[in-house]
Chain A
Amino acid sequence: MTTLIEQRDAVNKWLERYGVRFGVYKGGVFHEQLFPFDPIPRVIKRSEWNHIEKGLIQRVKALNLFLSDIYSGKQIVADGVIPEEFIYSSKGYLPQCENITPSKGIYTHICGIDLVQARDGSWIILEDNLRIPSGASYPIIARTITRKVSPHTFEHNHIEENRGYIDLLRKTMDYANVNGGLAVILTPGRYNSAFFEHSFLAEKTGATLVFPGDLTVENEKVYYNGLFNTRQKVGVIYRRVSDEFLDPMAFDKSSLLGIPNVMQAYAKGNVALMNAPGNGIADDKGLCYFVPKMIEYYLHETPLLQNAPTYLPYYPDDRKYVLENIRKLVIKDVSEAGGYGVMFGRDMDEEHLANIKHLIETEPRRWIAQEVIDFIDLEVLEGSGTVLRKADLRAFVLCADEIRVWHSGLTRFAREPDSFVVNSSQGGGFKDTWVEKN
């Protein structure tokens, strides 16, 4: 590992050479910047990983069953496990998806589940990202480069290969494909923060990268339009455009990023969309509390991985607890994403605190509160030494003929000491994640 650290400059040169970037908006202006890479990997022991893997598969299995239930009979609501208000007042619930059965019954093709490791060593779920999670490309590139500049490191550490993600992704696309038609990756365009990843995954999987306007729906089928009125039927769309912009006929009518009437082709089973539209209901922050209950309800199993202890001000007992203990809790606005709308009670001044308390009382459904997890710090290189930073792990779970967990993941760390916010949009960096071989 020492050699790997010594090769830091070489690694950065390669990152620059490949244009490994992500986009950010600062003051409304688009910039592309390098995603700071830290060469010290996060290493996860095999025994630990086996537990995480089992827990993630269990979780994703339950989430997929939940989505299938919610967009049809809603048995879990009828049985009183989840109050209907949490479904119908969530922005993530899309009635337009009612009674549509996606190809092979899969909703959650690619899940990016964020976990942290607490000081006692246990792994805790922070959130499930079941819509269009990004970040898988970075550890793949990091691994390619670090193996190049420091081959000896990998001779002495027996870790799982991670470039297999590409095959896993392609398999997932092919499995969902409804008719053997073209496999495409739909990007909103180059000014999307994850555009690099979209183009990288297209290159590596051999899928066609398509932009809004390249696809049209005719006779309930989706076509990719080539030069001079040539066209090709599309069988699967790995879309990186979010639900609300996906089809101006069904969702936001002003969307210029969508494919008009693609929902009709999808409902008819003429194209697969991955991930399925409407998944936002399952990764709604307000629903996170119910995931362990889903596991018990659908699988009759005990959850292997726990959420951070979560309180729903919606329930009077929880509300009372939250209002009394707000100083030690983290408060999240369920309608926000990407690290926004997250507030730590201990950091708020009196006025802000009073304001939030008032909002919790008047709009209880909008908030969740969680105990602050004291998660472990990881060593990060800074100057000639190392510093400690908070880090999380985004594990990727892919659903094809079976549910598989990618034997790596995106470890993101906070830029500032004491910060718990690891999102790349807020200046954090990333590490490769090494999973010990069996």
Chain B
Amino acid sequence: MGELISNTKAENLFWLGRYVQRVYIVLHLLRKYRDVMIDENEGAYHSFCEKLGITDNYASSDEFLHNYVYDKENPDSLISMLTYASNNATLLREEIKSETFSYILLSISHIENCAKDADIDALQTVSDYLLAFWGSVDERMFKREPRNMVKAGKYLEDLDLHVRFDYPHERILYLVDRLEKHAEKEKVIFNQILLYQLKSETLQPDCDKLKVLDILKHLFVVNG
């Protein structure tokens, strides 16, 4: 059995990890924002878009909740992100295994099937599938390098979103620490200088958010 993976596969694995984790975290955030938008602040989605750095062209909270989740034409939507994850996974079936892949396909078909009248609540199933996806990664991906690539994407995306949405500093510290430990395993795929900068920047409670996000953007390097 071959242990090597090509550059392309490494990148695909990394982006698969990022997209899956983005959908997973965004589903949490949507539930939080949904709650606020019921009776507290109808326009809270503006701040969601701003923090996530996506185009805000939704006319109302209802339109946002619908289009941001279900609209296949919208490149930022949840369904689009799952499609990107699926496009990467398609090229990785033998690395991640069909069972692992199936949780993405199940998520997509679940969203497609409840597109018309669903509330965010109906998407709990997708969160469950994505947790199962990560469980399957640990259970079934027995080759070290590909498993570490997909997790590199996950950890990096996690940190990125926690920074964007101003999570408590202790949460950020935990994620930086997790990423750093992971980088120990696969030194070559992370820019070590940026990793050091990331660590020193995030040590301060009032770290420069934009700087951290910029570091994260360039941290993963497969093309040497």
Contacts and interface: CB of A to CB of B under 8 A. Distances in A.
Q: Do chains A and B touch in the complex (CB under 8 A)?
A: yes
Interface of A: 16-19, 182-184, 190, 195, 199-200, 202-203, 206-211, 213-214, 224-232
A199 B89 CA distance: 11
Contact of B109 (A16, A183, A208, A229): A16
Contacts of B224: 228-229
Contacts of B8: 211, 213-214
A211 B102 contact: no
Given A18-B98, A19-B101, A200-B98, A225 B1 contact: no
A224 B1 contact: no
A206 B6 contact: no
B91 A17 contact: no
Contacts of A195: 90
Given A199-B90, A203-B93, A210 B98 contact: no
A232 B2 contact: yes
Pick from B1, B94, B224 the residue with the most CB of A within 10 Å: B94
A226 B188 CA distance: 13
A199 B4 contact: no
What does DSSP make chain A's interface, helix, strand, loop or mixed?
Answer: mixed
B102 A17 contact: yes
A232 B2 CA distance: 8
A227 B91 contact: no
B98 A214 contact: no
10 contacts: A16-B109, A17-B102, A17-B105, A18-B98, A19-B98, A199-B94, A206-B1, A225-B7, A227-B5, A227-B222
B5 A17 contact: no
Given A16-B109, A203-B97, A227 B6 contact: yes
Contact of B4 (A16, A206, A209, A230): A230
Interface residues of B, number: 25
A17 B6 contact: no
Q: DSSP majority for the B interface?
A: helix
Contacts of A213: 8
The 5 lowest CB-CB distance pairs between A and B, nearest first, are A226-B4, A203-B94, A199-B93, A202-B94, A208-B2
Interface string B1-17: 11111111010000000
A210 B10 CA distance: 13
A182 B4 CA distance: 10
Contacts of A229: 224
Nearest to A18: B98
Contacts of A203: 93-94, 97-98
Given A190-B90, A200-B98, A203-B98, A224 B6 contact: yes
A68 B3 CA distance: 35
A184 B4 CA distance: 12
Contacts of A19: 90, 98, 101-102, 105
Contacts of A232: 2-4
Interface centre among A184, A230, A231 (most CB of B within 10 A): A230
B7 A227 contact: yes
A200 B93 contact: yes
Most B CB within 10 A of own CB, among A183, A211, A227, A228: A227
B105 A202 contact: no
Contacts of A231: 4
B4 A224 contact: yes
Nearest to B10: A227
Contacts of A227: 4-7, 10, 145, 188-189, 222
Contact of B6 (A199, A207, A214): A214
Nearest to B11: A227
B59 to A, nearest CB: 32
A16 B86 CA distance: 13
Given A200-B93, A206-B94, A227-B7, 15 more contacts: A16-B109, A17-B102, A19-B90, A19-B101, A182-B2, A203-B94, A203-B97, A207-B94, A209-B93, A209-B94, A214-B6, A225-B7, A226-B6, A227-B188, A228-B188
Contacts of B93: 199-200, 202-203, 209
Interface string B75-97: 00000000000000011011001
Nearest to A19: B105
A203 B93 CA distance: 7
B106 interface: yes
B6 A18 contact: no
A383 to B, nearest CB: 22
Contacts of A225: 4, 6-7
B32 to A, nearest CB: 31
B128 to A, nearest CB: 15
A208 B102 CA distance: 20
Contacts of B90: 19, 190, 195, 199
Nearest to A209: B94
B108 to A, nearest CB: 10
B105 A16 contact: yes
